[in-house]
Amino acid sequence: MNMEEPTWQSGLFDEINTGYVVRQITSKESYYFLLNIHYAKRIPSISFAYGLFHNNELVGVVCYGTPASSNLCRGICGDEWQKSVLELNRLVLLNNQPNEASRLVAASFKLLPAPRIIVSFADLAQNHLGVVYQATNFIYTGLSAKRTDWKIRGQEHLHGVTVADKMRNTEGRRVDAMRSAYGDDFYLAPRSRKHRYIMFIGNKTQKKAMRSALRYQELPYPKGTQ
């Protein structure tokens, strides 16, 4: 492929002659990666999705969506910036070649509408530290709060949100409906804590304003193996 004549004018090449291009894709184009490669095996909220193409083959996807927690949106930089918050909720690579993750994330920032506050999490239960977020200069703000998830015995592979959604249209408290429906098979389990990372996207003035409004303490990056 002639890298001097980009196939997708709306995409971004981060380096000449690498064979890589990043461009926006539809949500459906990401589904194979999300359902078959990512450990969660489910489709999250997707507002924007971007694909990493190598020689015209889709080899990675990154997805951004509205966080499930409105408290999180308000808690990062306050009410003024809550509508600007997006969660980088999926980053999936087909072959996970060196630098592919950071190349995809960094290029996607240039394609996202600004201003935006990006939050992402690295799951301790998956032994993730967030190395790609460190490589792309996210701000580290510590671990997520201790919480519990809804579980059904024998269906532990289901995400807590998926379990809760089973009783979305029931009357009264959903937790009571779950106990009525599943008896002793319904239980609460500690949720694995996650490293929380923040990135600000915008011009210099916007970034300065968002950073000054940040309510979390900026901390040193966690170290270790991943």
**HSE-up (13 A, CA, CB side) for residue 46:** 20
Domain co-membership, 134 together with 175: no
* H or E element, residue 105: helix 100-111
Q: What is the CATH number for 60?
A: 3.40.630.30
- Nearest alpha-carbon partner for 165 in 44, 52, 17: 44
Q: pLDDT grade, residue 6 (50/70/90)? A: very low
Say which amino acid occupies 24. Answer: Q
Which amino acid makes up residue 37?
I
Distance between CA 202 and CA 217 in Å, rounded?
21
Q: How many domains does the chain have?
A: 2
**pTM of the full structure:** 0.79
Residue of 41, 65, 51, 44 lying closest to 94 (CA atoms): 51
- Whether residue 2 lies inside any domain: the answer is no
Predicted pLDDT of residue 5: 32
Do 108 and 182 belong together in one domain?
Answer: no
What is the average per-residue pLDDT within 151-174?
70
Q: Is residue 224 part of a domain?
A: no
Tokens 């990154």: give the residue.
Answer: 62
170 and 128 in a single domain? The answer is no
12 within domain boundaries: no
The rounded mean pLDDT for the chain is 86
Determine the structural domain holding residue 154 and report its residue range. 148-190
The pLDDT confidence band at residue 169, using thresholds 50, 70 and 90, is low
Question: Does 137 share its domain with 153?
Answer: no
Is residue 9 predicted with pLDDT exceeding 50? no
Residue, of 40 and 191, whose pLDDT is higher: 40
Tokens of 125: 């239960």
Asked whether residue 91 falls in the same domain as residue 80, the answer is: yes
In this structure, are 105 and 168 located in the same domain? no
Same domain for 122 and 160, yes or no, is: no
What is the secondary structure of 145-176 as a DSSP string?
PP-EEEEETT-TTS-HHHHHHTTTT-SS-HHH
Q: What pLDDT band is residue 161 in, cutting at 50, 70 and 90?
A: low
pLDDT for residue 144: 82
Are residues 159 and 137 part of one domain?
no
How far apart are the C-alpha atoms of 149 and 110, rounded to whole Å?
Answer: 35
What digits encode the pLDDT tens for the residues 54-100? Answer: 989 999 999 999 998 899 999 999 999 999 999 999 999 999 999 99
> Do 175 and 128 fall within a single domain?
no
Residue type, 1: M
Q: Could you tell me which of 84, 133, 128 has the C-alpha nearest to residue 108?
A: 133
> Does 170 share its domain with 197?
no
Radius of gyration of the chain (CA): 19
